[in-house]
Structure 1
Amino acid sequence: MALTGKQIRTLRALAHHLDPVVFVGKADVTEAVAKQADQALEAHELIKCGVQDGSELTTREAAEALAEVTTSEVVQVIGHRFALYRESHKKDIEHIKL
């Protein structure tokens, strides 16, 4: 699912106020980190993640690796933070209108 420029701008604006919920540490993208990100994406659709200083991955590499594992889209990468988006299958949450 490729996002358009307008959709990315909307998601970036929404992600600005979010706090990171998933952190990639020195063990890089592990199964536990992927599971945590997957659950957060299913519950919220848009999440912000962080890369800690001990990680051997750059922020872009961590974002792309986590996006691939969770089948989500990288919305933005700034500094040690990045945002991911994936449409949720849950019916009981408020979905982001794109």
Structure 2
Amino acid sequence: MSLSAAQKKQYRTIGHGLNPIVTVATKGLTEGVQLEIDRALEDHELIKVKFAVGDREVKRALIKTLCEQVQAEIVQEIGNIALIYRAAQEPNPKLSNLLR
């Protein structure tokens, strides 16, 4: 599920106005955090996740691990915020950030 450059540009434009839905802190990717991110991706398809961990390399590893676990694609990573996309099985026009 690789995104084209045009899709990434479109999703970055949409993501600019979004606020982070989930924060990953020092405890890392707990089961509760993963379930919440999975639910948010199913509802919204495009979400921002904030990583409040100190080290840059730890943050990058957490983002990569998270995307592998929830089968999502990284659209953009700026500072402590990652913009993540996964197509919903049945998109809800009232919830999806892409269909509004």
Query: For the superposition of Structure 1 and Structure 2, which TM-score range results when normalised by the shorter chain?
Result: 0.7 to 0.9
Q: How many matched pairs?
A: 97
Partner of 2:85 in structure 1?
A: 85
What pairs with 1:3-82 in structure 2 (closer than 5 Å)?
3-53=3-53, 58-82=58-82
- Alignment check: 8 A CA contact 1:28 1:57 kept: no
Taking every aligned residue pair, what percent have the same amino acid on both sides? Answer: 33
The TM-score normalised by the length of structure 1 is 0.87
Tell me the C-alpha RMSD between the 2 structures: 2.0
Aligned-pair distance for 1:53?
4.0
List gaps (5 residues or longer) in structure 1. none
CA distance in 2, matches of 1:62, 1:50: 11
List gaps (5 residues or longer) in structure 2. none
Q: Deviations over 1:70-91 (max 9, x none)?
A: 1000010000100100000124
Q: Would you identify which runs of 4 or more consecutive aligned residues in structure 1 move more than 6 Å? A: none
Aligned-pair distance for 1:56?
8.3
Aligned-pair distance for 1:3?
0.5
Aligned-pair distance for 1:25?
0.7
